[in-house]
Structure 1
């Protein structure tokens, strides 16, 4: 059975995570590795909608509890 790598990037909004993920994924694909990029929240139409609400600031008027629920 082949073993793979599980790599995560952590950081605040605007820290450059997406940029670095795409750079690494591109280099790994160039070396013929199979690469799967995911993000949280995200990955399905519903999760992408939640992601948009969180990143756009639309959840802010409802307070931190609502934001926490959207991340749950």
Structure 2
């Protein structure tokens, strides 16, 4: 089982909001009104609870224009 946490949201409008792209990452990005800048995850092996679960995280830095909106490069 994989659990993903999205955090560190900004206040800028999400430029991907209405795209509804089916690529896994872009689809998740399109769900929020704002932009998350951190994602962390944990992996649990339910059939073998003694095994060591995996985990990790990623962070992004966005560039913003003078109106505080994300600049897409």
| TM-score bucket of the superposed structures, by smaller chain | under 0.3
Higher strand share: 2
Please report the TM-score for the alignment, with normalisation by the length of structure 2.
0.27
Looking at both structures, which has the greater relative contact order when contacts are Cα pairs under 8 Å and sequence separation is at least 6? 2
Higher helix share: 1
Please report the TM-score for the alignment, with normalisation by the length of structure 1.
0.27
